[in-house]
Structure 1
């Protein structure tokens, strides 16, 4: 079976080819079209190369799914969620130029400071996991004001908390609003939307915070997190692990 769908992005119509035939998928891909494989459970070993996205039922190919397929095909960022004042979307290469100097929130920050490292992050994190740290954009001016998102809680941290080890994976909420934009409620607004989005993954959500960072501790409690204990203590401070209370983890 081979069929097509049309998806419009920024006023331009794009054809998506959906097929259970590798030859048809290869031809469509060679012609520059986005492709989706149709998987047949009765023939699980059948090749669907070069489709990166595979679905079992054609009904799964709704407009939202196909829009994301086309955006990924075009190398354009996914919009994760919106609030009254903010858009949270995947980072783009140009964002590296718009991060204020001196803004440092942790060892992983180097990823976002050059187009080379950001390109690798976009390719490997977003493409394979479909979550990660995202750009927080102020709608009014289209300004990058921070970053926030979800990533996998490191296994070495997970190993310190037996109550979490019944889960294969735990997501970690991270956020950093750049200093010129703080004290305006942006962190609460962004994190609330991200947590709502994160519920779709069906995994517990944790967060780490320094015991010296009282504002972030208050924010996490406001977001429904509760303290689990200390992890990876550092000289002069403790790093605390918080877990969000929900149906998966009713602390």
Structure 2
């Protein structure tokens, strides 16, 4: 069972996670390409399972969360994308603002899938999330994600101190 609505784009299906999706998510969150800018270390099975529970909990508690991205033509797992509210211990704080995030399997990088999925998710968020803006945090060396965030309307809000490092905080006002 999933609380997440299904979104279809020309090439992708975004749907809620199921327990059977755990192996794909483990594979992604243990991939060096995925973790390079997100945490820097492979996640354990337990940590990935807790991530999936967090996704489900977001939908139940907040009315928004993360989707599993699937390539429609092949049924292959592409990645994960969505919104969450993690009450991060960061300076400055952005608690209370929905945070957008995404991660794709390396074999799908550079093919426009992230943009296609992000456009669909932001359109859904604009229609269903009442917050005045959404934010995202991106590692300063992650040029591809910074370029994508700026291309869909996220503007730099400055540096963010988080877990002993510096991230870029970006915000996008609701149209």
Fold shared by both chains (TM-score > 0.5): yes
Alignment of 1:41-190 (within 5 A): 75-76=1-2, 78-99=4-25, 100=27, 102-103=30-31, 104-105=34-35, 106-107=38-39, 110=43, 117=50, 120-121=53-54, 123-152=56-85, 154=87, 156-157=89-90, 160=92, 169-190=96-117
- State the shift of 1:96 in Å: 0.9
Q: 1:226 to 1:140 in 2, by over 3 A?
A: same
Q: TM-score, normalised by structure 2?
A: 0.79
Alpha-carbon contact 1:226-1:245 (below 8 Å) kept: no
SS of match in other structure, 1:79: coil
Shift of 1:212: 0.7
Distance 2:10 2:59 in 1: 25
Q: Structure 1 residues 128, 109: closer, same or farther in 2, change over 3 A?
A: farther
- For these two proteins, the number of residue pairs brought into alignment is 166
TM norm structure 1: 0.57
Please say if residues 160 and 231 of structure 1, whose CA atoms lie closer than 8 Å, have aligned partners that are also in contact: yes
Which of the pair has more CA radius of gyration?
A: 1
Confirm or deny: 8 A CA contact 1:230 1:241 kept in the other structure.
yes
1:245 deviates by 3.4
Change (3 A) 1:213 1:94: same
Unaligned ranges ≥5, structure 1: 1-74
Instruction: State the structure with bigger RCO (CA 8 A, min sep 6), 1 or 2.
Output: 2
Does the CA contact (< 8 Å) of 1:111 and 1:121 recur in 2? Answer: no
Q: Give 1:125 deviation, angstroms.
A: 2.9
Cα RMSD between the aligned structures? 3.0
- Cα distance change on mapping 1:219 and 1:243 into 2, 3 Å: same
